[in-house]
Structures are given as C-alpha cells and as structure tokens.
Amino acid sequence: MDHSSLSLPLFLLVLVAVSAGAASGINQNRKLGKSRPRRDLLDNGLGRTPQMGWNNYNHFPGKLNEKLIGQTANAMVSTGLAALGYEYINLDDCWAELNRDSQGNLVPNATIFPSGMKALAGYIHSKGLKIGIYGDAGTLTCARTMPGSLGYEEQDANTFASWGIDYLKYDNCHNNGTSPQERYTKMSKALLATGRPIFFSLCEWGQAYPATWAGSVGNSWRTTGDIKDNWGSMISKADQNDAWASYAGPGGWNDPDMLEVGNGNMSTEDYRCHFSLWSLAKAPLILGCDIRSMDNDTFELVSNKEVIAVNQDELGIQGKKVKKTGDLEVWSGPLSGNRVAVVLMNRGLSTANVTAEWSDIGLNSSVIFDARDLWEHSTTTSVQNQLDATLDSHACKMYVLTPH
C-alpha cells in the first residue's frame, strides 16, 4: 500500500561450499556474498524460497471485490501460472469495514465481499491456491478505509486463522511513531500462536532497516518505498534492495516491492530487466498486473521457467551488482550445483557492449563454462574468460553458467 499517498481514498544463511569448488572454479569471492551475517529465523516453516503470487494493489488500488479475486484465482490456474509456483492470491487495503463489530472483530466489507472471507478462502483453496490478506501495524490502514491492528494483534491473528488465511501483508501507516520492531514482533508472535502457518510479509518500507532485525520476525520485509510502473522507479528499487543482499536467505527475503510487469507503462525490455533483476535478487515474485487479460509478451516474461528457477534456487543466496561501468552493469550470484547466475544490463540510452569477466563474478579465470541464455533458451558451450553482449537501451541478458 502506498504510504506516501495517505490522502488518497482509495540463514540459516547458506554459504557456497567450495573447497571442492576450486575444481569447479567458483571462489567464495566477496562479490558473491562471502560475508553473510548470522541471523535468527522465524520458526514457521515458510518462505524457504521467495514467495510467488499476485496482489491487486498495483493494477487495482482500492478496487477489490470477490468477483475479481475469484476470477484471478481461476486465471492463475487456467494460464498455468499456478503450476509454475504462483500460489498466493493476495488482497491489499480496503477489504474491510471502517469499524469493528461489537466484539472488536474486523468485518469484511459486505458490499464487495458478500460471501465473507471464510467462503472466499475456501474457494481459493479449492483451486489449490492460497489466500493472503492485508493489515496494518497502526491504528488505521494507509487508505484510512479500515482499522489497523495496533492493540488488536492477537484478536486479528485469530480472526485471520479462523478464516483460513495463509499470508499477511502488514503495512506501517498511522503507527503513532512507535517502534516498528516492537509492533511487528507482536503480530509475528500472535500469528505463531494461532497454530496456523501464515506467511508474514512486513511492509515497513525499509525505514527502520528491517533487513537487520526482521529475520526472526517475518518471512520477507520491504527494503524500499512503493514501486511505480516506470523505469526510474523500478531500477532505483533494485539498487536500494541490493544494499541488503547479505541478509536474505531461506526463510526470510528482501522485498523491493511487487512486480509491475504487464501494467503497460514500460517497454517489454524494461519489464525483462525488471523480472530478471527480481529473480536474481531472490525477491518475492508477486505479480501486479491483471492476469485475466495479460498479453503474450507479459505471459512469456512471467512464465519463464528458467528465470523462475533462479529465483527459487534452493541455495537461496541473493545475487548482487558486482560491476558498474557508467550505465553498463553486471549482476551475479551463486546457485546450487556450483552454477552461477549472471545478468548483463545496459541502463543507458544508446546501444553498448557489456562484458563480465570471470574475475568480476568470482570465478577462476581458467575454468570453462557452458552458458545458458535464459531468455533465448539457448546454450553456448565451452565459454572461457568472459561473457559479453551488445545490448540496446534498457536491455539485458540473463545466463546460468555451469562448469563444463
């Protein structure tokens, strides 16, 4: 939810084991995340890989109803996206009445959700999917259309569990200036106490540096403000998120906000960079377009199994920006099986050649790799010393390198 527009109504950290890795040529080089802070994990068994799903806010801000949610769940299955791992159907702000009932319970808006949340959850579960809901760690949500959970954490957590909710996105508006760590921890404990596994997504916007403390509180945490559907916003979120790469890992992920792919204000190449960087960075892949009517270009981007596999890799190490020469960048990170993911990107306005030498991405210069181009679905064998590509403005290439 956009906290900047309040007036609108709306690891277990895993290190790459490479003693044998000298044979594979993969060094635990600082550019690939050698130094990784120890952190406690939220003990709810969720988020072993980054979450995947859909949220209404980017395309339908404040425009929720049960028909939209049901149709989106249907489309998630019929398009095949559910089979690729997109499992959460998440509601954002504006789903509840402004006032609690006489017992202090949250009440779904009867006009837009006449069947109620328990029935809606049952329908989504019948599709083999999971349902997410939105709350706020203050007194009101960001759109001011429904109550926040401050002071009602246990009651609201029990309500969500009784409805069959699987995911909570928890915003940070109207918080009275109180400690976010304290407020988010209270809801985390309340969710755990329900006995229902509920993925906890902290939407604190990165203001109190949640990467440094949220590993034991939630399964993901926003590292940025809200994304917008334009290149400048998207790429700045990638840059901000990159600063916290060493804190991510199985059980808890850095979140540079939801995907704008398919919402129409960027080019296909812009969106390809967007999806590539989010996948490499092990960011949540939460679709924000209307999947009921997405075009072929959008579908081909968000359904790329090879790119998704990088995001969902079991090693769970966030890829990072490892080289920058003006507007030309190399991003890279280790994968399981002694493989390495690489993104070459041209952020500039004119065509240019981008090169990643093995030393840039933490590799032994003598090792030979097979390079799989994940967008072209082609493999170049016996690649030595470097990767390079001539890229148009705002274009990228994404590869997985496998020792030959």
Q: Report, as residue numbers or ranges, the catalytic residues.
A: 171, 226
Tokens encoding 131: 């349902």
The backbone torsions φ and ψ at residue 167, rounded to the nearest 5 degrees and listed phi first, read: -155, 135
Strand partners, 253: 220
Structural contact between residues 308 and 279, judged by C-beta atoms closer than 8 angstroms: yes
Cα distances from 357 to residues 84, 95, 108, 279, 292, in angstroms, run 33, 50, 55, 22, 42
Beta strand pairing status for 52-55 and 285-287?
Answer: parallel
Residues 351, 372: Cα–Cα separation, whole Å: 23
3-state secondary structure of 195: coil
Which H or E element spans position 280?
A: helix 268-280
Structural contact between residues 226 and 4, judged by C-beta atoms closer than 8 angstroms: yes
Burial of 320 (0-12, 13-18, 19+ CB in 10 A): buried
Structural contact between residues 141 and 93, judged by C-beta atoms closer than 8 angstroms: yes
Torsion of the alpha carbons at 241, 348, 271 and 95, rounded to the nearest 10: 50
Tell me which amino acid residue 106 is.
L
Tokens encoding 128: 């083999």
The backbone torsions φ and ψ at residue 18, rounded to the nearest 5 degrees and listed phi first, read: -135, 45
3-state secondary structure of 325: strand
What's the Rg (C-alpha) of the chain?
Answer: 21
Structural contact between residues 333 and 341, judged by C-beta atoms closer than 8 angstroms: yes
CB burial of 232-264 (b: ≥16 within 10 Å; e: otherwise) equals: ebbbbbbebbbebbbbbbbbbbbbbbbbbbbbe
Residues 263, 269: Cα–Cα separation, whole Å: 13
Strand partners, 397: 344
